[in-house]
Structure 1
Amino acid sequence: MDTGDGSGSNAAMLTNLFRLDGTPKVHQQEEAMPSMSPGDDVTNILFRGEQWYQPRKKIKKVTFRNVSIQNMDLFQLTFTECTFEDCLFNGSRFREVEFHKCRFVNTSMWKAKFEQCYLDPRTIRLDRRYRVEAANVPVTMYQALLSNYSNERQDAFYADADIQFRRWKRYQLDWDIRSGKVDRMPGEWAKLKSLIYDVLAGYGYKPVRLFGFTIFFFLAISLLNHLLIGADLVVNGTRPAAPSIVDSIFYSFSVLTVLGFSTVVPDSPFAKMLTVFEALAAIGWLSIFTSVLVKRFLR
């Protein structure tokens, strides 16, 4: 899945992430709306008022660029195949608004609210600059989207948005550390835990990925055991003339899955102590794996 940080995007960003570039035209609520027919570009406009556009309006294949629709109420609108670049929706309220096959590029929705909305979080792209200057913007946006997805039972969107929310919380820790809000050591440790959880299991939403890492780690431990204690394994009551990689794999998976030794057992003090350590570590790992399965399939 894309990280949602805008990597590879060619869109220019606003000079100030909370203000439009240049001197945009100011549009008052009582004025006639600009043309929004398919193929039109709506650019360099600052909309002012309490409500944006009339209800039940459908807008298709329109590009909005350097447009501000802040602190306004958007009600019963449907956007289809529209693009929003360098736009500001800060503080706005979206009610019964649908975005189908739309794209959001470096569009700020800081403290926006969403009620009964349809918006695929995978269509949102934010430049890496947000990580440095305004990670709190996507944090509040994804937090509001999560509430909407939960209420609307849009489970797939909820999972994607939750992953992005947790990633941006991790990025925000950099700012909190630099500003002194969080001590460096606890902050760096929290970032590391978040990164590991993201890479290994997609914050609990990628159990297949975690299963793949589990098999890889178990095989790696099997190889390590073969090198360290392969000659100290007793098979069916006798010590083989030469260590067998198959026996080492069988032994290691028996220990790591907490199934018991079966016909292969350790026969040296070092091998026994290593076995105890691996078994204890495996209990913790399998507990994490089980919790991920529960979170993904029984939520």
Structure 2
Amino acid sequence: MTKNIKQALNSAFRKVPIAQEDINKFKEYLTALLNITDNKIKELEEHHKNNLRDFFNQIFAIHNFNSYLNTKNRNDLVIHNGDQDSPVGVIIETKKPDDSTEMVTLDKFNVKSLQQLLFYYLQDAVEENNFKLKHLIITDIYNWFIFDATLFQRLFSQNKPLIKDFKDFQEGRLPSKNRPFFYENIASKYIAQWEDELKNNCTYFNLKESENKLQDNQDIESDLSLIPLYKFLSPKHLLKLPFINDSNSLDKDFYNELLYIIGLEEVGDNKKLIQRLPSNNRQEGSLLENVI
């Protein structure tokens, strides 16, 4: 069972108010994205990918946040944590809206789009030692499947047999260097092992379900119902940026992300303790591991 948007959002972030002007802009941009997708549904994947990049640039502009969005290697689309020299924060695998064979669905999970996403994740996390990835997304514009990068880190980048297979593939020690070989013989095998875990920790939504809420600018209830989606697609959520909750509190997601980057974790219930990450969860690129 996948999670919905409200379940995925930080509870404190859900309470942060937004301006009516901002939700109006969001509705305008989302309406334009859906309209151009509906009208050009048979266009090539590249066409839809460019529309999605334009949409994210518009959304991030509402939040006055500049992030570099573009392709990287053969990744369909990536969102950097800042400018083009900053690490990638979000990897997006895009599919055509009418691609029913490669697009992941609620009933058909272990397919090419997820296998591709795993490959691109391993390229960034393992080969480039990028420990600042925040989310991984598969979308055909209408349907969205979003994974927290910490889930992939736990299931895949610490999976020694998978990492060995990945490195053997990249270095040409397997029967084929063609990507389909990796997808069909390696990625699919490891995804199958963790398919239930991936489903249960994945956030899913369909933008078409919000379409009727975009029509009436005077409908307050419709506007309120769009706020979770607005916040979910914001840079604060996708890139796990800190946000102002109140004058005496720190965003918990940001706090945990900071500990992870340093190489630490918080343990204990009533008495909070901070300690080095266990050996099976350490990242070579973390600040602490670089010092030790």
Structure number with greater Rg is 1
Q: Relative contact order, CA 8 A, sep 6+: which one is greater?
A: 2
TM-score (norm 2): 0.25
Higher-strand-fraction structure = 1
Higher-helix-fraction structure = 2
